Amino acid sequence: MTQQHPPTPPSGEQPRRDDTTHFGFRSVDKDQKAGQVADVFHSVAGKYDLMNDMMSMGIHRLWKRFTIELSGVRPGQRVLDIAGGTGDLTMKFSDLVGPGGQVVLADINASMLQVGRSRLTDRGYAGNIEYVQADAEHLPFPDNSFNAVSIAFGLRNVTDKDQALRDMTRVLKPGGKLMVLEFSKPTNPLLSKAYDLYSFNALPLMGQLIAGDSASYQYLAESIRMHPDQDTLKGMMDAAGLVNCKYFNMTGGVVALHVGIKP
C-alpha cells in the first residue's frame, strides 16, 4: 500500500544529535544511512533508467546535457563521475575525452555499478572508462587527479555532504571544475505546490507499478525535500574550498546545477 506522506518535512528545528542524519524525513544513525541508501538502490537498479525517464518525463536527459555542456571537458582530460549509476554522464564524457583521456565511473553501490558497466559495454563504450566502487566521502584517488568531477543526483544520498565536497575538491586538479547536479527548491510557489503533489502521490505509485517498490520512491521524494537549497549548497561549496561557485536553476528550480572551480 502506498504510504501518503504530507509534503512537509518534520519541523527539524529540534537539535539533532551529532551522530544522526536524515534518511528522507526520518532521523537515523549516521553509520546506518549508507546501508539504507544502498538497499534503496539495490532495489531499483534494474529499473533505474526506465523510472528516471518516467518520473522526469525524459527531462533528466536535458538536465544532464546542460551539465555536460558546461563541463568544458576536452580531449585527453581525466574526468570523475561520482554516483555515476547507469552511466549517462560517463557515456558523454567518454566521447568528449576521446581515446587519449579517461573517465572514472564511481558509485558506492555495486548493483548500480554493474548495471552501468553492462549498459556502457553493450553500447560499445570501452577502453577509456574505469569502474570503481567508491564512497564519495573517501575517494580512493590521489590529490589533484582530475580535470573535472561530476556528481549527478547523488549528493543528497551522501551522509556527510561537507566531507564529500571536500574530498571531491581534493581530487580535482587546480583549475578543475566540480559540477553538482541535484534536485533543489522550485523558485515559483505554484510550481512548488504542483511538484509536491506529484512527488508525494505520483512518484510512489509509479515506483510501485513499475519497479515494484513504493518505499524507495517515497524516500526519493523525502530526500529531495531534505536536501540543502540552492544558496545553502553554494555556501557549502565555498566552504569546501572551491571558488567562483555559482548555480543554474533548471525547470524552475526543480533541479539546479552547481559549479565551482578549484583554485
Partner 1 sequence: MFPGPTLQAALTRVIEGALNQALELDPPGRTALLEVLARPVQFSITEPAPLTLTLTAVGEQVSVGGSPVEEPALELSGRPLAFAALALGDNSVFASGRLTVAGDTATAHQLQRTLEQLNPDWEGALAQHIGDIPAHFIGQRLRAAIRWSKSAFSVLNANVEEYIHEESRSLPGRRELEATFGDIDQLSLQVERLDARIERLSQQSGLPHPADLPPEHS
Shortest distance, position 88 Cβ to partner 1, whole Å:
13
Q: CA-to-CA distance for 208 and 223, rounded, in angstroms? A: 18
187 binds partner 1 (CB under 8 A): no
Shortest distance, position 98 Cβ to partner 1, whole Å:
7
Q: How many CA atoms lie within 13 A of 112 on its CB side?
A: 26
Shortest distance, position 191 Cβ to partner 1, whole Å:
13
191 binds partner 1 (CB under 8 A): no
**Based on CB atoms, which residue is closest to partner 1, 94 or 109?**
94
Tell me the CA distances in angstroms from 235 to 74, 246, 258, 259, 263, one per residue in order.
Answer: 28, 10, 11, 12, 16
Spacing of C-alpha 116 from chain mean position: 15
DSSP letters for 118-161 = HHHHHTT--SSEEEEE-BTTB--S-SS-EEEEEEES-GGG-S-H
The residues, ordered by sequence, that sit 6+ positions from 65 with a Cβ below 8 Å of its Cβ are 92
Cell of 134: 567508491
The residues, ordered by sequence, that sit 6+ positions from 209 with a Cβ below 8 Å of its Cβ are none
Q: Please identify which residue in 54, 132, 215, 250 interacts with partner 1, judged by CB under 8 A.
A: 250
95 binds partner 1 (CB under 8 A): yes
What residues from 53 to 72 belong to the interface with partner 1 (CB under 8 A)? 59, 61-63, 65-66, 69-70, 72
Candidates 13-21, 27-35, 111-119, 246-254 — which segment interacts with partner 1 by CB under 8 A?
246-254
**Based on CB atoms, which residue is closest to partner 1, 141 or 248?**
248
**Based on CB atoms, which residue is closest to partner 1, 62 or 205?**
62
Q: Please identify which residue in 34, 45, 82, 96 interacts with partner 1, judged by CB under 8 A.
A: 96
Check: CB of residue 157 under 8 Å from CB of residue 44: no
**Based on CB atoms, which residue is closest to partner 1, 72 or 140?**
72
Check: CB of residue 223 under 8 Å from CB of residue 24: yes
Q: Contact positions toward partner 1, by CB under 8 A?
A: 59, 61-63, 65-66, 69-70, 72, 95-96, 98, 248-251, 257
